[in-house]
Structure 1
Amino acid sequence: MLMRARAWTCTHAVAMILTLTVAAAMSSSTSSDSGLNSSAPLDAFDSSTTWSLTEDVTNSSSEPIVRTLTPQLQPATTAVSVQEVSPWDVALCVTGTLIACENALVIAVLFYTPTLRAPMFILIGSLAVADLLAGLGLILNFVFTYLIDGSLEFVTLLSVGLLIAAFSASVFNILAITVDRYLSLYNALTYHTERTVTFTYMMVVCIWVCCVTLGLLPALGWNCLRDKSACSVCWPVAKNNAVALAVTFLLVFALMMQLYLQICKIAFRHAQQIAVQHQFVAISTTKGVSTLSAILCAFGACWLPFAMYSIVADSSYPAVYTYATVLPATCCSVINPIIYAFRNPDIQKSLWMACCGCVPPNLFLRPRTSSDV
């Protein structure tokens, strides 16, 4: 029994000596090799590993205590930086998702309904495409910020360029719809003969060429990637670029106000000229004027705070003010499908036919107002 215990002890002593010899040899060979980095880990024999003698408690009391050399691994202390998600960015991403879903439905209805090919519906479809791209731009901006390396210049310029082009197209398409409504009332008798589909397509192409050019401006040098002090409230858009866009929007808004005032005057003049249907037309005209006022007020309430803030503020202002003005501006793209598409009787009929296979009788009896044109 004693011989057996001594043999066991000798065996473990030899194993421990061989282990230490191998470790020393590997350590010396690593330090002498100039092609390797001396700080590289060596599997179990690295700087984060300590060794201690532990007792083998599995032996019975009649056998001598055997001590073995066991490693004690220390946990790594490397810190992993995790970017905190802003609630404002989450709200913008959710808004973008809602925008994309609404306008995708509008585009699907217009595409699969052959009867909706009038100039008015072409403009509504162009507005839906612009708002759809705006919603996708908000989603991609969230993805680029938190899921992809947002420090890449290409990614940053692509995101901001898409947002500028999409929202600019949305504003200009709303202006085109306003002009179309004004012409349909001002030249009511010759409107359908003078306003051809080809002319409408040409106008839509001009709008998109202009807006794509605006979206390319940051990539063409109108950015503040090299000069942080020249940044606007929306990085990396330069301050001068943001002011130019804001002033352009104010001019568009002023033109829309003037056109809506002219539409209201023409509507009231038509109501006075038709004496037989005076009561019916008066009710319809009043409803149309109130609807147009709500459209203009909603458009101004969404975009005016951000436009005015872009003129007076720069990158040194707190980011919370930028978020507080950008979020209402994006909500305008949520309202646009409701105002310009879902309220239209023809689109409503197509939606009812697609969803339920029938059309409610009240859609045929509802009178058209100036906002439906």
Structure 2
Amino acid sequence: MTANTSDLTWDESSGADAFLAADQSVTSPPRGSPPLTAWGVALCASGTFIAAENAVVVTTILATPSLRAPVFLLLASLGLADLLAGVALVARFLFLFCLEPGDWSELVTSGLLVTSLTASLCSLMGVALDRYLSLSHALTYGSGQSRRRAALLLLLVWLGACTLGAGPAMGWHCLDQHDSCSVAPPLTRTYLSLLCGGFLVVVLATLQLYAGICRVARRHAHAIATQRHFLPAEQPYASKRGRGRGFSRLVVVLSVFVGCWMPFSLWGLLGDASSPPLYTYATLVPAAGSSLLNPLLYSLRNKDIRMVLLHACCPRRQHTHAVHAHPPVDV
């Protein structure tokens, strides 16, 4: 999914971010690779860092037999999706600045980005669902049956993401019909509208799950306070501060989630091929940037994953590594 970068040039001589559309047809002879720009360097560097960061997360989870709870399966899926997003950015850089750009490279990178972003967003919804179920069914969730259900859910997510990602390569593109292009060529307006509509549904469903998490957590806190024969307002300061930190973390997670995914989802529905490419970049960069922030907000906040990484970095140190059955609050 690109904003037709191969048809844009960067006017570095003027020191401004000028986007000039090239007036040429699809059947024109192949063009040579454009000169390397600051945008290309940022594209390669960010893609490499995203891929490396998420590769560490995926390797840590898959290489540790004790990390097999449903939450870790979801985090591995999230890391794999974000890893593919980083690979797609690096591939875009190679196709654009190192090799001769062509229609096939547009289709490959667009399909890979659609697959990775779809799987990443659905995995984030799965993490929210895991949090909700772990709180509302705390005694039974995390069993072998729950792991099988999580694995089945992820299988369906990846099948759906790969099917959507194969759309451009299977002919659902606008390379030969520019009038049907969306704000992110070579995707058609119909294709991107369906994709962004699905993104909005997933975003709203995820927000609803987090609202349910807040309701369940509040019920649990009130029940505990009632059993101890005092009101929540009379709890010790440390307990209040702990709940405050948890609420602050939740606000940060939701703010990043909405800020990364909502702009492009709305722009894909409202914009068209005549819209300025700069607007597409401004909304697509946060969506891709979520792949950079997800490991920090989800995987690396988990105490068990941090303990495994610490043990790998300092094997001679003594670590008390006891993996919890299911730590939803740390995820």
| Aligned pair partner of 2:171 in 209, 214, 221 | 221
Match of 2:67 in 1: 116
Q: Deviations over 1:100-124 (max 9, x none)?
A: 0110111121122111111110110
Query: Residue type of the partner of 1:262?
Result: G
Q: Deviations over 1:218-254 (max 9, x none)?
A: 1222110110121112110111111111111111111
Does the aligned pair in 2 maintain the 1:106–1:128 contact within 8 Å? Answer: yes
What is residue 123 of structure 2 aligned with on the other side? Answer: 173
The structural deviation recorded for 1:360 is 7.0
Q: 1:226 to 1:242 in 2, by over 3 A?
A: same
* Whole-angstrom CA distance in 2 between matches of 1:359 and 1:160: 46
Paired residues of 1:88 and 1:323 also in contact (CA < 8 A)? no
Once the two structures are superposed, what CA deviation does each residue of 1:295-343 show, in whole Å capped at 9, x if it has no partner? Answer: 1110111121222222222222222222222212111000100111111
Shift of 1:155: 2.5
Partner of 1:105: 56
**Shift in alpha-carbon separation, 1:320–1:88, aligned structure 2, 3 A:** farther
Structure 1 residue 370 displacement after superposition: 5.2
Q: Match for 2:156 among 196, 206, 216?
A: 206
Q: Is it true that 1:143 corresponds to 2:101 in the alignment?
A: no
Give identity over the alignment, percent: 38
State the alpha-carbon separation in 2 of the partners of residues 90 and 313 from structure 1: 28
Match status 1:311 vs 2:269: yes
Q: Secondary structure at the match of 2:175?
A: coil
Partner of residue 243, structure 1: 193
Q: How far apart are the structure 2 equivalents of 1:238 and 1:206?
A: 25
Shift of 1:160: 0.8
Report SS of the residue matched to 2:41.
helix
Deviation at 1:352, TM superposition (A): 0.8
Question: TM-score, length-normalised on structure 1?
Answer: 0.72
User: Aligned partners of 1:313 and 1:87: how far apart in 2?
Assistant: 26
Give the root-mean-square deviation of aligned CA atoms: 2.4
User: Tell me, which stretches of 5 or more residues in structure 1 are unaligned?
Assistant: 1-79
Distance 2:36 2:271 in 1: 24
Q: Equivalent residue of 1:202, what SS?
A: helix
Q: CA deviation at 1:194?
A: 7.2
Deviation at 1:125, TM superposition (A): 0.5
Residue 216 of structure 2, aligned match among 263, 266, 276: 266
Q: State how far apart, in whole Å, the 2-side matches of 1:149 and 1:175 are.
A: 38
- Alignment CA distance shift 1:312-1:350 (3 Å): same
* Rg (Cα) greater in structure: 1
Distance 1:262 1:359, change over 3 A: farther
Partner of 2:288: 330
291-300 or 81-90, which deviates more = 81-90
Residues 81 and 336 of structure 1: CA distance in aligned 2, closer, same or farther (over 3 Å): closer
Match of 2:6 in 1: none
Q: Match for residue 26 of structure 2?
A: none
- Aligned mates of 2:293, 2:32 — CA distance in 1: 39
Contact 2:32 2:100 (8 Å CA) reproduced = no
Q: CA deviation at 1:288?
A: 2.0
Number of corresponding residues = 290
Measure the CA separation in 2 of the matches of 1:282 and 1:359. Answer: 33
Deviation of the 1:287 alpha carbon: 2.2
Residue 157 of structure 1, CA deviation: 1.2
**Contact 1:119-1:197 at 8 Å conserved across structures:** yes
State whether structure 2 residue 323 is matched by structure 1 residue 372: no
Residue of 100, 109, 131 corresponding to 2:82: 131
Structure 2 CA distance for aligned equivalents of residues 163 and 359 of structure 1: 42
Q: Match for 1:189 among 116, 124, 139?
A: 139
User: What's the offset of the Cα at 1:81?
Assistant: 6.5
The one-letter code matched in structure 2 to 1:170 is S
Q: 1:144 to 1:81 in 2, by over 3 A?
A: closer
Contact 1:271–1:285 (CA under 8 A) maintained in structure 2: no
* Distance change in 2, residues 1:288/1:359 (3 Å): farther
